[in-house]
Amino acid sequence: MLNRQIFLIGLPGSGKSSLGRRAARETGISFLDLDAWIEELAGMTVSEIFERYGEAGFRRAETGALAEMTRLKPGIISPGGGAAMNPVNAKIMRNYGSIILLDRPLERILEDLRPEKRPLLKDDPENRLRALYEERMPVYRALADATVRNDGDLQTAVTMIVRVLRERYHA
């Protein structure tokens, strides 16, 4: 029985939402996407929140939503790629859960990237993603309790996540 939240962290396009949903289905654990929850609460998309309130406004909403999610029944939570960069969010994740880094090669992310859905990547997506990789990966690696490499097919990555959940967290 899972007794802590499981947070999936990684770059935009690393598979946090798609792999998290599939792993949750295979294990019978609940799944929550932080960005989708913020969109539902705000009644607007993440892009619209960025346009109206800026990144700082979105990050405030993100921290509030993350804190609320920790009060829910333990499950798999997919925060946005930047959530772990905020020390308050990192502390919330560390105190209330375990953290799994989804490490996907930059080249694979770029193949699948849809920059119109990612406010931080709209302008010059390739260079912006490379900069995010350099900035964020050391933080992600330092926070992670486990790392799952997502460099093959989706089912292989899901199987690896499920294995980590069962072996380490008895899910």
Q: For the chain, list the strands marked E by DSSP.
A: 5-9, 31-33, 76-78, 97-103, 146-149
- Residue 113 domain flag: yes
- Residue 171 domain flag: no
pTM of the predicted model as reported, rounded to 2 decimal places: 0.92
- Residue 106 domain flag: yes
- Residue 84 domain flag: yes
pLDDT tens-digit readout, 78-117: 999 999 999 999 999 999 999 999 999 988 988 877 656 6
Q: Which helix (H) or strand (E) holds 96?
A: helix 87-96
What's the total number of domains in the chain? Answer: 1
For residue 99, give its domain range: 5-166
CATH code at position 30: 3.40.50.300
pLDDT tens-digit readout, 115-133: 566 665 667 778 888 999 9
* pLDDT tops 90 at residue 68: yes
